Structure 1
């Protein structure tokens, strides 16, 4: 079977990094988006023929279309899109600033939507393809202090479930992945806490502090093992091949 082309956002660390490594080892082609190319210099060196890094901020919609078009032009199409980039925002709803709300909606929701919209014409023309959307168990349940994170995850899941029904007749499949807590930079690196209001001291909205405290250890999930649980393309043959 010929290698497939995967476009994966956010491959500098976490799930995106582990998935990219596993796919490259399996002989697949990976175009990985990053904010800093030096973060994946080792992948480019180890896999010069099958890995390509693209600089992308998923909030930049014109650049999203450029990256998608360039990937499709270079490799003759895109077999799988993996929307992985995003981050968390924690705090009570009234503690968030307007800028913080915009900052989480843009990558977690709008950016994912625009990437999916950008790849669909290429997959539809090919008559095959798969969209993999990284969500979270937080796309099914809600906890205090996580309202905007939940809003973006519930939102992107609703979008994907609707789109899945629209594109199935074209041979395109959609998969939502909902991992639990994992040992990635999400909690102790990229997560952004809002400035606390004194009125919320002792409130359940601040329970996230214990989760973000490195002294309490990392999340139990192994991101490398979790990445292996993302369905293998062999299981998607009907959606990826005519």
Structure 2
């Protein structure tokens, strides 16, 4: 087993916590970021020689750059960058405030883009490295009540997909991680529910409100197993472009992609009819 050095955002909870604990347990080095003071103190106490903590607000561009630079300055080398930090903003699009929209995009999309861009010069100089961009089944499937969350995940997938082609010549691999529902604190701990507009009570958008308020539905995915699969993916060459985790994610994505492909194929002739006849 190769010992590696990792930069993991959002190391205090969810997948970031599972990843950090597993990596440290096997002897890897981790620089893990957090927002809440004291939330990673236990990791620093258990692994004082191999765990390094850094505060990071994903909406602060200067702090993102400083933390990434600190990772290389402190550790000398980072083999894997895990862009994990984020949260879910749920509710019908009309129910969201402008401030909520801006913050969701700044955290999940713009923050992830800034993190990767800040890491690329370091990885490029190494001529090696791997980026794991946490997305979601919601980066390929869109359900009512999650429009802004889906917008950020679809957006970051497009970004990461294109970047993968840009940096492959430098020995850098990019994997988009697409978990389904998992038993983490994402659903009932880090998700934000917009204020209710009664007109949406009996519409498809209300389903997510019921799930978040009733707090009875549990994800089927094992977060620790998912984290193990993410770690194992780094040993795969070439880097898998996508890593689907959970049977629910696979089934939902397969169905959505089949429907999308059917829509496209049904327009083959009409699409060609708009070509310039001179070509």
Give the TM-score taking structure 2 as reference length: 0.82
Q: Deviations over 1:5-50 (max 9, x none)?
A: 1000001111000000000111100000001241111110111110
1:26 and 1:15 map into 2 onto residues whose CA distance is 17
> Contact (CA 8 Å) 2:91, 2:209: kept in 1 or not?
no
The DSSP-based 3-state class of the residue aligned with 2:180 is coil
For 1:4-83, list aligned pairs within 5 A: 4-83=4-83
> Contact (CA 8 Å) 1:188, 1:214: kept in 2 or not?
no
Structure 1 runs, 4 residues or longer, greater than 6 Å off: none
Structure 2 residue 103 is the aligned partner of structure 1 residue 103: yes
- Label 1:171 to 1:158 Cα distance change in 2 as closer, same or farther (>3 A): same
- Label 1:157 to 1:233 Cα distance change in 2 as closer, same or farther (>3 A): closer
Q: Deviations over 1:118-143 (max 9, x none)?
A: 00000000100111000000000110
1:102 and 1:196 map into 2 onto residues whose CA distance is 19
Q: Which residue pairs with 1:194 in the alignment?
A: 194
The DSSP-based 3-state class of the residue aligned with 2:150 is helix
Alignment RMSD (CA, Å): 1.5
> Contact (CA 8 Å) 1:171, 1:238: kept in 2 or not?
no
More RCO (CA 8 Å, sep 6+)? 1
Q: Which residue pairs with 1:172 in the alignment?
A: 172
1:88 and 1:188 map into 2 onto residues whose CA distance is 10
Runs of at least 5 residues in structure 1 that lack an aligned partner in the other structure: none
2:36 and 2:96 map into 1 onto residues whose CA distance is 28
2:113 and 2:101 map into 1 onto residues whose CA distance is 17
Structure 2 residue 233 is the aligned partner of structure 1 residue 229: no
Shift of 1:233: 6.3
Runs of at least 5 residues in structure 2 that lack an aligned partner in the other structure: 240-279
Q: Which residue pairs with 1:128 in the alignment?
A: 128
Q: Which residue pairs with 2:150 in the alignment?
A: 150
The DSSP-based 3-state class of the residue aligned with 1:81 is strand
Q: Which residue pairs with 1:138 in the alignment?
A: 138
Shift of 1:221: 1.5
The DSSP-based 3-state class of the residue aligned with 2:33 is strand
2:152 and 2:137 map into 1 onto residues whose CA distance is 12
Q: Which residue pairs with 2:113 in the alignment?
A: 113
Looking at CA atoms only, which structure, 1 or 2, has the larger radius of gyration? 2
> Contact (CA 8 Å) 1:131, 1:175: kept in 2 or not?
yes
Aligned residues: 239
The DSSP-based 3-state class of the residue aligned with 1:27 is coil
Q: Deviations over 1:94-126 (max 9, x none)?
A: 111000001110110000000000000000001
- Label 1:42 to 1:231 Cα distance change in 2 as closer, same or farther (>3 A): closer
2:44 and 2:134 map into 1 onto residues whose CA distance is 24
Q: Deviations over 1:60-97 (max 9, x none)?
A: 11111111111101111221100110001111111110
1:178 and 1:72 map into 2 onto residues whose CA distance is 27
> Contact (CA 8 Å) 2:181, 2:221: kept in 1 or not?
yes
> Contact (CA 8 Å) 1:37, 1:53: kept in 2 or not?
no
2:233 and 2:139 map into 1 onto residues whose CA distance is 24
1:28 and 1:57 map into 2 onto residues whose CA distance is 24
